[in-house]
Chains A and B, each alone.
Chain A
Amino acid sequence: MDFSISIHMKTYLGEFEELVLLTIATLGDDAYGVAIKDSIEQRCDRTISIGALHSTITRLEEKKFLRSWVGGATAERGGRSKRFYEVTRDGKAALSTAKSLRDELWAEAKINLSIQK
């Protein structure tokens, strides 16, 4: 449970930050480093450097949008544990703020933004 009383600051989510947060949300219980990286690379068809990914995750944690815990060591990882991530309430709030902003703009677009395939 997240007991922290967060002063709701309107922090802006960058594109990559939003992507990472949403991907973590899609992965559910299995959201750890390698999985996140694979998922993004597969879905977006782009290569992510591991340093950039973890830096973003670290920043999101600093902003309190993510929570992490340690678990699950396997032989494949040389006996080292994994660190799992989860979106916090503040993270969810940031995501929905971003989404509603996008929706608002989409709705009010004077041109037809949808592309006919």
Chain B
Amino acid sequence: MGRSEDQSLYSKMIKRNPPRIAERLFDWYCGNAGVDDLRGDMEEVFHRNVNKLGYRKAKNIYWRQVLSLIFSYAIRKRKSKAGFHQLSSSNPFDMWANYFKVGLRNLYRHRYFSILNMAGLAIGMSVSLLIITLFVSVTNYDEFHENKDNIYRVISYASTGKEYASAPPALGERLKNEYPGIKEVIHIDKNLYISEPTPKNPVFTFGFYVDPSFLSSFTFPLAEGDAKTALAQPHSIILTQKQAKKIFGELNAMGKFIAINNEQYEVTGIMKDFPLACHFEFNAIAPYSAICKDQLNAPVKEAWSEFKSHYIYLQLKEGQDPADLQAYLDRVSAEVYKSNPDFKAKFRLQALGDITPGPDLDNDIGPEWSYMSFVIAGSIGLLILLPACFNYTNISIARALKRAKEIGLRKTLGGLRQQIFAQFIAETVIVTVCSLLLSCGVFFVIRGQFQEMLVYGASLDLSLTLERFLYFLAFAIITGFMAGFFPAMHFSRLNPIEAMKNNIPSKRFSGTRIRKALIVFQFGLCLFFILSLVIFSKQYRYAMNFDLGFADENILDVDLYNAKPEVVSNEFSKLSFVQKVSFSSGVMGHGVPATWASLDNSKDSTEVFYMFVDGNFIDNMNVPLLAGKTFDNGDSKNGETSVIINQTLMKRFNFAGPSEAIGQIVRVDSLSLKIIGVIKDFHFWQLHAPPGNFFFRSKPDAFRLANVKIATTDAQMAMEEMDKTWHKFSNGEVFTAKFLSDETSAAFYQYRTLLRLFGYLGLLAISISCLGLLGMVVYTAESKTKEVGIRKVMGASRWSIAYLLSKEFLKLILIASLFALPITLLLDKALLGTEHYRVAITFIDIFLGLVAMFALGIVTMASQTWRTASINPAETLKYE
């Protein structure tokens, strides 16, 4: 009597069932296996438990039993006896061996197509391989530092919207003094430059002024010297091994002296050459104490707003939470910039590992790789890879007919859909892995060019290591899956009976439409590259030959630093090859500052660009003087007195002609200056925009460069002579000189890079498209052999047959042009549009592009169609 009896009566009245989900799970897992008795056992126990222990416990036990059985050997054995299940085979590798064998045999039997496919895939994968290598080497930057997990950099966000990798030195001082969680503060100043010209070999030493903690926080071991004391004295310097060898040759550099800014620095250490994968770029370091005396004395305002080449790195103590430090930084920035109306900044911590690859910051300390560049690189890789994969898909599906009998037979003998699928994926993966080997070959060839094209390419290690090769292998296998997925799906869905009758119904995957769309896409891409190349090379030639309005040949720009212009002029003029010396505040044609000016008697002011030059400048640069005269060097000794305006400004001031403007007064920067001359407009903005309002001013204090016109072809000799002369009167300052024409053409660097990039990519895209087209044409030719034979017997000429075979593809190329043309024109117009002076895209260019593309298509098809058209019909009509 009691509860249990009531319960048993109760549960007998209400039929409790074992948990349905558990039952269904069990049934699903067991599949065809004979497990009736086990189910019965569990149910019997369940009902017993419901009576004894209650419904909930019974359910619990039931679940546990289901799981226990599912993982037991008993079920495995019963399932395997049930057979007809993929997992029933005791040796899963048997079938793979067969797939491998059959795959290789098929590849060999249809050699032509196999090579086509492999070549296409190899080319497609090569760009991706490069990008993978790039990615792998960049993400491994700075891995060699032992303390890398605790090192952070302070970066700045200015209220102007710009983001800087640098930070104010004063912040570093505050952090050191006020925040306890920091183990080390490392100040880095990037201004260490020394050039030690030896007669044939100007060695350029550059690097940082650093706190001694630089050596302890970062892992830069010294080959010679003691890391603890090497940077103790302000006038010490540490060189890298390579640099020490460059400067001192085979002699031991330790203890020798190097002059920086007229002071002697002793070499107190030689640093072991550090790995290329480092975001720092330097070959010498000196103690921060050598320059920081100036920093601390700078007025407060400047200390917090001028930090172009100063960087702060921190090593936090173990366990210190960076979020806490971030809060502190926010407080400091709010406090410091409160009273500064012009400039505000916020600071952020950036972990060492987040620097490369990382966000795009100004004032980088060394090689910088931004996320955006990876996204772009990745898209380019895909753009080349996808057409190659599509080609494979295309050709495989088109040739399905040939494999139909084999597939039909396999299915009849019991092959499951999944097995057919697996077989074709395996075949594709074999093809891609073979292509990988070819692709590596292409990779080696284009690697050098690729490195040159990148801005920081020299600091990359693009070698092929085992680790990277494994990545490549994984990539090849993934590509195999991608390329083989659709053909495998198509094959696995073949109806075996229909297949053995050689009768494949046209379903979606046999898509002739997809095939056509792919060819259109590929040739559209080709047209894009060809046309863009035509247009951009036109623009490049235009830019190179563009008359900027001044003569930039044979002019050497020499940095003045603190030298006096008269001294420089006198000394250089003594040299025989120096024709003329003039002075300017900046590099001619390279961007100029602006100010506001107005005519004396008007309130209307206008924005005017300007440059400070001396009297010789206009003549030196061959800028045509339309009226008036140039500056008189004696005038400006006591300040500015005059300006020389350009035509545009003259019109802006509403003067009728150049002579009218002479003598008028212009108000600039609270000065009143007289117009003494008018020059013809010249392009101070290169090709970006038409010349705006401009005038020349004159003030010796503002001169920064000496423009030395030389009359010799031996530039090397000229530079050496000038360097010697320079050192006679300069105070140990360096002689830096660049040819104006070099600087002008350096600005066109981006054109050249763009052209090269388009050239290579275009070549790749064209190759892949032609291979794809070739494959399609061969297939069409093969499948139409009978038709061709009959037509020939009926009297068709070779031309008409060739036309018959190519007609379909010519139509596709035409459609491709129609699609690609507008897109290309739009894109190129947009790219060119950044330059105000640009070439117009004429019909000739378009025509050239189209002709090139059709020519490609026809040449590709020609060999095949001609061959087919020439076959003796007697042979083809025997083909069954």
Contact = CB atoms under 8 A, between A and B. Distances in A.
B19 to A, nearest CB: 13
Interface string A57-73: 11100100000001001
Nearest to B65: A50
Contacts of A73: 40
B43 interface: yes
A77 B69 contact: no
B104 interface: no
A58 B45 CA distance: 20
Contacts of B71: 51
A80 B73 contact: no
Interface stretch (B31-39, B196-204, B325-333, B564-572): B31-39
A106 B43 CA distance: 43
B37 A55 contact: no
Contact of A50 (B40, B47, B68, B73): B68
A24 to B, nearest CB: 15
A74 B74 CA distance: 23
- Most chain B beta-carbon contacts within 10 A, residue among A34, A49, A51, A57: A51
A51 B67 CA distance: 8
Contacts of A33: 37-38, 41
Contacts of A54: 38, 69, 72, 74
A58 B43 contact: no
B44 A34 contact: yes
Given A51-B74, A52-B72, A55-B72, A77 B40 contact: yes
A82 B41 CA distance: 8
Interface residues of A, number: 23
Q: DSSP majority for the A interface?
A: helix
A36 to B, nearest CB: 10
A58 B44 contact: no
B43 A76 contact: yes
Contact of A58 (B40, B47, B74): B74
Given A32-B37, A50-B65, A80-B36, A59 B73 contact: yes
A59 to B, nearest CB: 7
Given A51-B74, A55-B74, A77 B43 contact: yes
Contacts of B41: 32-34, 50, 77, 82
B192 interface: no
A77 B18 CA distance: 11
Nearest to A50: B65
Interface in A82-113: 82-83
A34 B42 CA distance: 8
A86 B72 CA distance: 22
Nearest to B17: A78
Nearest to A72: B40
A80 B72 contact: no
A55 B78 CA distance: 10
B184 to A, nearest CB: 59
B637 interface: no
B85 interface: no
A51 B37 contact: no
A114 B72 CA distance: 38
Given A54-B69, A55-B74, A78 B37 contact: no
A51 B47 contact: no
Contacts of B72: 51-52, 54-55
B40 A49 contact: no
B24 to A, nearest CB: 14
Contacts of B807: none
Contact of B44 (A59, A62, A77): A77
A116 B44 CA distance: 42
- Most chain B beta-carbon contacts within 10 A, residue among A57, A58, A62: A58
A81 interface: yes
26 contacts: A33-B37, A33-B41, A34-B41, A34-B44, A49-B68, A50-B38, A50-B41, A50-B68, A50-B69, A51-B68, A51-B69, A51-B72, A52-B72, A54-B69, A55-B72, A55-B73, A55-B74, A58-B74, A70-B36, A76-B43, A76-B47, A78-B43, A80-B39, A80-B43, A81-B36, A81-B37
Given A80-B39, A81-B37, A81-B40, 14 more contacts: A32-B37, A50-B42, A51-B65, A51-B74, A58-B74, A58-B77, A70-B37, A76-B47, A77-B39, A77-B41, A78-B40, A80-B37, A80-B43, A82-B40
Q: Which 7 A-B pairs have the closest CB atoms?
A: A80-B40, A51-B72, A77-B40, A51-B68, A54-B74, A83-B37, A55-B73
